[in-house]
Structure 1
Amino acid sequence: MVRWQHPTRGLLAPGCFIPVAESINLAGELDRWVLRRACNEFSEWQSAGLGHDALLRINVSAGQLVTGGFVDFVADTIGQHGLDASSVCLEITENVVVQDLHTARATLARLKEVGVHIAIDDFGTGYSAISLLQTLPIDTLKIDKTFVRQLGTNTSDLVIVRGIMTLAEGFQLDVVAEGVETEAAARILLDQRCYRAQGFLFSRPVPGEAMRHMLSARRLPPTCIPATDPALS
């Protein structure tokens, strides 16, 4: 997820500037810039011997998914930076997909032919979550943070997480939990066989150079809990 290091306001979250970009028809150019920049930096890390077992995850907006030439742009950008397409994962929210399901399905099918991974972001918040699993060529579900943050104190969230894990297992999909902020939530996810997670427990957003150092050390900040799976350690 892109952040903007503003010269006077500091690090800005996406919600502070992406709506502005959309309102002046620059969202598409911003998306393309993010993809180019991310692939370039990821390629530099790999050239330095870092991140060869990592997966580069990039968010895709509604406009990009239905824009002609998007698939070719993705393929060309990945190729220009010498990356293996299987090392790139494009993340699309449920709501983005349902805005134009026919076009989204066709675009995702072509992206799969390119070789990239496809993840459904914020899974569980849309009204058509289960039907998407039946019709779209996806690899990963990302459990929305609203069902993760209160794990350990909210029994309803645990029921939902268990249900998503069961669905993922039935469809043979990977799962990533979003918004993990406490050790209690992380341990509950491990108990539910969810071995991949992201959130402030592990790290807040960091600049590329800081991430490079983390990859070099093959570790995350010391707040991380011990785990047998490398995705949580």
Structure 2
Amino acid sequence: MRNRPDSVMLFAAGFGTRMRPLTDTRPKPLIEVAGKPLLDHALGQCAIPQITRRAVNAHYLAEQIAAAAASRRLLLSQERDGILDTGGGLKAALPLLGRPEAVFAMNTDAVWTGPLAMATLAGAWDPERMDALLLLCPPERAVGHALKSGFAMDAAGRLSWAPELAYTGAQILATAPVADCPDAAFSVKRAWDAALAAGRLYGVIHPGRWCDVGHPGGIAQAEDMLADA
């Protein structure tokens, strides 16, 4: 059984609308922060022995993501007919990842300090209790992030919707709710809602700092954060 995840899905298919004009000619995951593409910052957070398969999806400016995937030996899931959102993108990539029972997943638009994101998630994952485990960051360590939505966490680590902790874009997710969804395009939040209703949506706190590089000004904020570290 592969409920101890050994694969990671990197989300890189989006249009990067908030990052324009930088994304007019380059997909957001390939924009550089501190001399390194955001995709490589994400891959650095996945550098744990447990992860043996790495996949990335592509839609917008897909040929650039495909070239980056080839040079980094990443499995590529091309969304040719239309963008599938996070849930649909993960569902489409599951065959590439060997149809695991649980998978790491990560956005590719952030930089980090502190322990590796995937190491923190791996250390807290308990498939007997959890269908989803989200890596969260308190507002004082979420650089440049306006906490308009997020999660509250109880003493046992269970989550509910409340703007108290920021979701960092990194998670472990049981794949059955995604694989069984009849839709092609949908958000992974659908699986979170199901896990929450079942009391199986959990969180763990990232011990370091995190910066969501969602707009051009976020590049300088992220570089300052890294310089301070």
Global fold match (TM > 0.5): no
TM, length-normalised to structure 2: 0.31
TM, length-normalised to structure 1: 0.31
Q: Report the structure number with the largest CA radius of gyration.
A: 1
